[in-house]
Amino acid sequence: MEGYRLENKPVDLSGIKELTFVPSQRAGDVYRFRNYALRIFQDGEKVIDEDTARYLTTITTDRIILPRKLLFYKNSFAGYTMKLVSQKGSSKKIITTPKYEFIDSIEVLEDDIKELSKKKVLLNDIVPQYTLYNGELYLVNPSKYSILDANSNSIERINKFQLHQLITELISRELNKQNCPQYAIKHLKELMRLRDEDQNTSDFLYDLMGEQKNIKQFVKKIG
């Protein structure tokens, strides 16, 4: 795999191996390269533009994974490196994670959203298929994020709504896999819709769950 360079340095990508801990819906070709995840665009793939990717490299986040260095092939923008998410804990489930641990994980994402919104970044395509969970929740496909010329408070409101929708869907999917009664899942979704638009999902869930130790126990109670 000759002709590649990472920023201004030529790199030899021969021998790189595909990552095994990846989203359920693959976001292009993703490999392990040194201590990074490396996404290489496929031919004809509709991807993030170079200017947006470059801008995202200037922003620091913890769990919303952003491009770190840009990859080029013969002067054409060809991909980017990202933080490598640890596979340790990948068998963990959101619905059985202790309440305080799960809410802490959401709070970190909310901090990331605050930072991104301040920088005018609108999240797009944040769906369950593009997440990883290892006891901490990561959003791992930034290729549809965009820069929006709008009020940062308005952007944050939209981003927080998207995160809330994502959390609701992730919980519902896990409950479905556990053969939870459909009426209980429907009831949970109805309760999740009661969140005020400016309220953090972490605060909403903290109040909603009360003394229940995890989501699974809470749903059993309301069902």
CA distances from 131 to 8, 40, 87, 221 (A): 30, 18, 13, 28
In this predicted model, what pLDDT tens digit does every residue of 54-66 receive, in sequence order?
999 999 999 999 9
Of 209, 113, 166, nearest to 174 (Cα)?
166
Terminal CA-to-CA distance of the chain, rounded, Å? 55
Q: Which of 55, 28, 56 minimizes the C-alpha distance to 44?
A: 28
Q: Buried b / exposed e across 98-114, counting CB within 10 Å, b at 16+? A: ebeebbebbebbbebbe
pLDDT at res. 24 = 74
Q: What is the pLDDT of residues 166-179, one digit of tens each?
A: 999 999 999 999 99
**pLDDT for the residue 47:** 84
Confidence of residue 205 (pLDDT cuts 50, 70, 90): very high
CATH class of the domain defined by 94-222: mainly alpha
pLDDT of 173-204, one tens digit each? Answer: 999 999 999 999 999 999 999 999 899 999 99
The tens digit of pLDDT for each residue in 66-75 reads 999 999 999 8
Residue pair 156/148 in contact (Cβ under 8 Å)? The answer is no
Kindly state the average pLDDT of the residues 110-115: 98
Q: For residues 152 and 163, what is the distance between their CA atoms, to the nearest angstrom?
A: 16
- What are φ and ψ of residue 37, in 5° steps? -95, 135
pLDDT tens by residue, 118-164: 999 999 989 999 999 999 999 999 999 999 999 999 999 999 999 99
What topology is assigned to 4-83 in CATH? Phosphorylase Kinase; domain 1 (3.30.200)
The mean pLDDT value for 196-216 works out to 96
- Per-residue three-class SS string for the chain: CCCEEECCEECCCCCCEECCCCCCCCCCEEEEECCEEEEECCCCCCCCCHHHHHHHCCCCCCCECCCCEEEEECCEEEEEEEECCCCCCCCCCHHHCCHHHHHHHHHHHHHHHHHHHHCCEECCCCCHHHEEECCCEEECCHHHCEECCCCHHHHHHHHHHHHHHHHHHHHHHHHHHCCCCHHHHHHHHHHHCCCCCCCCHHHHHHHHHCCCCCHHHHHHHHC
Asked whether the predicted pLDDT for residue 89 surpasses 80, the reply is: yes
Q: What are the domain boundaries of the chain?
A: 4-83, 94-222
pLDDT in tens, 6-53: 999 999 998 899 988 877 776 678 999 999 999 999 887 778 999 999
Question: Look-up: residue for tokens 């990472």?
Answer: 6
CA gap 147, 34 in Å, rounded: 30
